[in-house]
């Protein structure tokens, strides 16, 4: 039982393996390369615009070293332990002090005030409408505190659109930190007094004696702080490098922005392409046919574009009128695949069908019949679409006196129903009168007898069957032939619908030989080396 479960789990894990087809990924990128390029162009444009309109920002950096107290040494019996916790805590605390509003307020006062600046060219500094607290917060946001790993050194950086002011800000910040470290009690008292003033102003006016008294005490503290600023010394803080006036801005950097935009645009474009491809659930490639429908793709047919200057003709006659085209060559390859797919049976009787209408099955039926007629004797093409026949229009022959009349006649003298075509060795039996019961006619014993009689005179019998999902006719007909071939228009039929059509044929134990992927765009063929080779050979001819 355990072994069985392990085998089942192994099988499940194998089913979950997702194969990455690099060729398919490359094909999708090449197919939608214009979309990807558009994403890149947009991102490059935005980066270039930003680099042009953004104000140059300068950065100045100072370095200080904070020396904490010596580590605590503890002796237990004969062992000595060194405790660095106090030193680490002290260092981390000083980093938080450097980020505090208290230091920011001191630096603000030393600078004589601070006005924020705009990010875009043409936007100067704030006109002064902001209050002190808001300006202090803006100043704080320009500061970066970065401890140097595995040292007691801290880097303090300031950014500003004024290169000289950037250096002043960072140096003022260092001085403010030194002052705060020496006079933290005075600063704490001043903060308490300012809070008291804010609270009392809710109930009394500015000229009230209580407010005036608090203001006087704050002024005294400020005077004491100003007096001690000149002599403030903190033995634990050493300035290693003062902030210098920067020579060049740290941003914007046009080249770096453009390179970054290039990668962002490429990744965004590729991501959008794969989202687009995943949203499109139609059959588009040979890989889709083999992976989703689980049948072989016998061939892929390009969209046929007739040469300029040539007289127009129905696409069903491409194998005759343009015998050297890639389209005609694909049908000759399809013919060879059918012949050698089963040498014993050779699949003499074939049905050509599709999942839905307008997928090119009738055109494919004529060209395949032509390919067989050019290679191996007599071929008869039968229009078995008894609901919406089209072959007689392509051949420009009457629809009357066809398959319907032949199946309801008392004998099988099919020769009076066969119509000759312009193509050598290719005969045609039209649909005839559209019957009320096409499914019953196609499922009758008379059709089997007719196929047996035709097999005596023809080397290949090809039925143009109706679409599978339109009615049951094609499913019934598939039981009378040696094999069925599906024609699928690339990018047209949903995978679920195509899969259902295949399952319907297979449900009656009929043989599905494979699929023909029709109307594949020319750029999709360029993924394969032989396409370019073939195109070059055509030009030589």
DSSP calls for 215-266 = HHHHHHHHHHHHHHHTT---TTEEEEEPPPPPSS-SB--HHHHHHHHHHHHH
Question: Both 497 and 418 in a single domain?
Answer: yes
Question: Both 191 and 331 in a single domain?
Answer: no
Question: Both 409 and 503 in a single domain?
Answer: yes
Question: Both 353 and 456 in a single domain?
Answer: yes
What does the pLDDT read at residue 220? 87
Q: For 303-367, list the strands marked E by DSSP.
A: 349-354
Domain assignment of residue 39, yes or no = no
Question: Both 298 and 226 in a single domain?
Answer: no
**Cα end-to-end distance, the chain, whole Å:** 68
Element (H, E) at 463: strand 460-464
Residues paired with 351 in a beta bridge: 463, 484
Question: Both 225 and 298 in a single domain?
Answer: no
What does the pLDDT read at residue 448? 92
Domain assignment of residue 54, yes or no = no
Question: Both 293 and 364 in a single domain?
Answer: yes
Q: How many domains is the chain partitioned into structurally? A: 2
Question: Both 503 and 439 in a single domain?
Answer: yes
| Peptide bond connecting 262 to the previous residue in cis, omega within 30 degrees of 0 | no
Contact criterion met (CB below 8 Å) for 505 and 485: no
What does the pLDDT read at residue 343? 64
Residue environment code for 255-270, b if the CB has 16+ CB neighbours within 10 A, otherwise e:
eebeeebeebbbeebb
What does the pLDDT read at residue 451? 93
Q: Where are the alpha helices (DSSP H) in 148-183?
A: 163-182
Residue 521 tokens read as 């765009």
Domain assignment of residue 430, yes or no = yes
Under DSSP, the state recorded for 274 is: H
CA angle 374, 377, 380 (to 5 degrees): 90
Question: Both 201 and 336 in a single domain?
Answer: no
Domain assignment of residue 454, yes or no = yes
Full strand arrangement of the beta sheet holding 297-302 = 297-302, 512-520, 483-489, 349-354, 460-464, 379-383, 426-429, 419-420
216's CB contacts (< 8 A; 6+ apart) are: none
What residue numbers bound the domain in which 191 lies? 187-231
Under DSSP, the state recorded for 293 is: I
pLDDT in single tens digits along all 541 residues of the chain: 444 444 444 444 444 444 556 777 887 788 788 999 999 999 999 999 988 888 899 999 999 998 765 444 444 455 434 444 567 788 888 899 899 998 999 899 889 888 888 766 666 666 567 888 888 999 999 999 999 988 889 999 999 999 999 999 999 999 989 888 777 677 778 888 888 888 888 888 888 888 888 889 888 888 877 776 666 576 578 899 999 999 999 988 899 999 999 999 999 999 998 888 777 788 888 888 888 899 999 998 888 777 666 666 777 888 888 888 888 888 898 898 888 876 665 668 999 999 988 898 999 999 999 999 988 789 999 999 999 999 999 999 999 999 999 998 877 688 889 999 989 999 999 999 999 989 999 999 999 999 999 999 999 999 999 999 988 999 999 999 999 999 999 888 888 899 999 999 999 999 999 999 998 876 555 544 444 444 444 444 3
Domain assignment of residue 516, yes or no = yes
Domain assignment of residue 104, yes or no = no
Domain assignment of residue 4, yes or no = no
Supply the pTM of this predicted model: 0.58
Question: What is the CATH classification number for the domain harbouring 357?
Answer: 3.40.50.300
Question: Both 380 and 471 in a single domain?
Answer: yes
Domain assignment of residue 67, yes or no = no
Question: Both 405 and 500 in a single domain?
Answer: yes
Question: Both 224 and 356 in a single domain?
Answer: no
Residue 229 tokens read as 């600023």
């Amino acid at each position: 039982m355990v072994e069985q479960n392990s085998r089942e789990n192994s099988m499940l894990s194998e089913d979950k393996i997702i194969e990455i087809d690099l060729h398919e990924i490359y094909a999708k990128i090449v197919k939608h390369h214009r979309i990807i390029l558009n994403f890149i162009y947009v991102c490059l444009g935005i980066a270039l615009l930003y680099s042009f309109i953004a104000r140059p920002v300068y950065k100045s950096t100072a370095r200080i070293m904070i020396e904490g107290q010596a580590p605590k040494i503890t002796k237990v019996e004969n062992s000595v332990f060194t405790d660095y916790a106090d030193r680490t805590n002290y260092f981390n605390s000083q980093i938080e002090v450097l980020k505090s509003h208290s230091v920011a307020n001191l630096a603000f006062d030393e600078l004589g005030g601070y006005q924020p600046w705009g990010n875009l060219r043409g936007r100067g500094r704030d006109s002064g409408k902001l209050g002190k607290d808001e300006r202090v917060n803006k100043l704080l946001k320009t500061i970066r505190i970065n401890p140097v790993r595995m040292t007691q050194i801290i880097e303090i950086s300031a950014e500003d659109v004024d290169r000289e002011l950037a250096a002043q800000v960072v140096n003022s910040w260092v001085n403010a930190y030194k002052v705060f470290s020496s006079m933290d009690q005075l600063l704490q008292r001043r903060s308490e007094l300012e809070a008291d003033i804010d609270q009392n102003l809710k109930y009394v006016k500015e000229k009230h004696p209580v407010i005036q008294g608090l203001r006087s005490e704050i002024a005294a503290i400020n005077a004491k702080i100003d007096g001690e600023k000149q002599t403030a010394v903190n033995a634990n803080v050493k300035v290693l490098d003062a902030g210098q006036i920067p020579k060049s801005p740290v941003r914007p950097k046009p080249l770096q922005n453009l390179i970054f935009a290039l990668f962002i645009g490429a990744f965004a474009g590729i991501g959008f392409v794969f989202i687009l491809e995943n949203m499109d659930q139609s059959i588009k490639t040979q890989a889709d046919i083999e992976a989703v429908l689980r049948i072989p793709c016998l061939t892929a047919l390009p969209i046929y574009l007739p040469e300029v200057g040539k007289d127009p003709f129905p696409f069903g006659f491409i194998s005759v009128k343009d015998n050297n085209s890639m389209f005609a060559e694909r049908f000759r390859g399809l013919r060879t695949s059918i012949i050698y797919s089963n040498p014993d049976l050779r699949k003499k009787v074939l049905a050509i069908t599709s999942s839905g209408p307008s997928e090119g099955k009738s055109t494919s039926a004529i060209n395949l019949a032509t390919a067989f007629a050019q290679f191996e004797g007599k071929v008869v093409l039968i229009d078995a679409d008894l609901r919406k026949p089209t072959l007689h229009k392509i051949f420009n022959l009457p629809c009357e006196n066809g398959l319907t009349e032949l199946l309801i006649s008392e004998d099988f003298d099919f020769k009076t129903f066969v119509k000759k075509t312009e193509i050598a060795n290719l005969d045609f039996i039209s649909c005839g009168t559209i019957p009320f019961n096409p499914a019953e006619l196609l499922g009758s014993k008379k059709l089997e007898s007719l196929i047996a009689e035709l097999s005596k005179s023809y080397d290949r019998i090809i039925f143009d069957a109706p679409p599978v999902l339109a009615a049951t006719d094609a499913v019934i007909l598939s039981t009378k032939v040696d094999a069925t071939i599906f024609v699928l228009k690339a990018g047209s039929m949903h995978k679920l619908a195509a899969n259902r059509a295949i399952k319907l044929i297979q449900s009656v134990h009929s043989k599905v030989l494979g699929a023909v992927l029709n109307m594949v765009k020319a750029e999709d063929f360029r993924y394969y080396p032989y396409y370019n080779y073939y195109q070059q050979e055509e030009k030589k001819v």
